[in-house]
Amino acid sequence: ASSPTPASTEKTQGETSTASTTPAADAPKEKTKGEVQCEHTLLGTLQHVGELERTGDLSVSIASAGFSAEPLKKNVTSCYAGYNETPSEAALAEADAMNTRMREAALESAKKGKLQDAAAPDSAAEAAIKKDFLDKHPGSEVKRVFMTSAWKTNYNGLAVRNRYKDAIVVMAVKDTDICLRVPANAAQAATTGGGFDSKWKHDIFDKGRVVPCK
């Protein structure tokens, strides 16, 4: 049998292996401490956005301040500054995008929201709730307060501890045409004489559900 040709048995002079010339994939760039901290901050906001999209729930603080990206950008900048770093344009852009997503989620969720039915009005309780709400959340725009239950009673064993009524605070979501339905109540402690204290105590939540204002 004829011997194999040189071309079939060995590489020609100057020819190299394809495997040896393929460049190695670039190793992923290690994140800075500021970038890691910023990711945690944005992740927390993303969780709030996800909850808003799923349930329509929004914090009173955001509803009162409006959907501005500046507070989130300030937090992002602070994350980097803590490690003497400067926030990247991408991080600030992500904060903008997340804020926009939150606003859009609120507007969309409000279309499916509705106010609860009102119970008999109680002007004294309603006024007390509104005052307490504005004391806790100054700058909020309260559209109305209405009761959603008659008196209920709490007991310590067999003894009456207090009585209370449930209510709703309807506040405007700043810079939008939607509102936030915030659950609240007004309570009066029982007195030793079998009556109730004239002073009101309140349990106003810091979260509500986005709804149409009417």
Q: Residues 7-40: pLDDT tens digits?
A: 544 444 555 445 555 555 666 778 899 899 999 8
The answer to whether residues 178 and 67 touch, using CB atoms and an 8 Å cutoff, is no
Q: What is the pTM of this model?
A: 0.78
Q: CA-to-CA distance for 33 and 11, rounded, in angstroms? A: 50
Residue pointed to by tokens 């209920």: 152
Q: Residues 114-163: pLDDT tens digits?
A: 998 999 999 999 999 999 999 999 999 999 999 999 999 999 998 999 99
